[in-house]
């Protein structure tokens, strides 16, 4: 028996982002800091980004150096720098060649995608790494079920009206 919760398996992420995103709410992020300290936070909010046809998705304009991990098989991290300041953490989902992912938008005690990565000292070094084969960072299952609300996604004013209106943001309710 291990001292720490086991990593969610890769298979968990090899499904559609719209299935994974709500299920990830209530799960935990487990971060082993370089010094050895283990920090575990419960995920309270996620968003799904679904393919090149989703104008809010980074892959909307095709594959680039930055978004390459989105095109990988589900079960890797996609971490990128936003506004030159904030690292944003995503889990890539779905099958290889279909760019989709789930943004981890907030954790208990750390509202905001940039604040949770700062709290956990997560940076670009994790992008492209397997979620179940990474020493320092993993996801762990829920301890119990939790209700999930949906809402519009945040900060995507550049996307089409239709894509902005999609209820692809998932928020924990009554954790």
Residues forming contacts to DNA in the complex (CB under 7 A) are: 47, 49, 56-58, 61, 64-67, 70, 78, 80-86, 88, 90, 101, 103, 112-115, 118, 154-156, 158
Alpha-carbon span 167 to 151, nearest angstrom: 5
Shortest distance, position 66 Cβ to DNA, whole Å: 3
Residue 5 or 114 having the CB closest to DNA: 114
Q: How far apart are CA 170 and CA 148, in angstroms?
A: 6
Nearer residue to DNA within complex by CB, 5 or 19:
19
CA pseudo-torsion sign 75, 58, 137, 6? negative
Shortest distance, CB of residue 166 to DNA, whole angstroms? 13
- 64: which 2 tokens? 């680039």
> Minimum CB separation from DNA for residue 153, in Å?
7
């Amino acid at each position: 028996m291990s001292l720490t919760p086991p990593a969610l398996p890769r298979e968990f992420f090899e499904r559609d982002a719209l299935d994974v995103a709500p299920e990830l709410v209530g799960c935990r992020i487990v971060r082993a800091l370089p010094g050895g300290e283990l920090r575990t936070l419960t995920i309270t909010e996620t968003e799904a980004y679904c393919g090149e046809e989703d104008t809010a998705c980074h892959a909307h304009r095709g594959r680039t150096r930055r978004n390459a991990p989105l095109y990988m098989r589900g079960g890797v991290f996609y971490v990128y720098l936003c506004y030159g300041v904030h690292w944003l953490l995503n889990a890539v989902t779905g099958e290889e060649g279909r760019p989709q992912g789930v943004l981890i938008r907030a954790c208990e005690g750390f509202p905001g995608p940039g604040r949770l990565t700062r709290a956990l000292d997560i940076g670009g070094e994790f992008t492209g790494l397997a979620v179940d084969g990474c020493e320092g960072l993993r996801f762990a299952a829920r301890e119990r079920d939790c209700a999930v609300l949906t809402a519009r996604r945040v900060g995507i004013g550049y996307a089409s009206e239709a894509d902005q209106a999609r209820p692809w943001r998932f928020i924990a309710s009554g954790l």
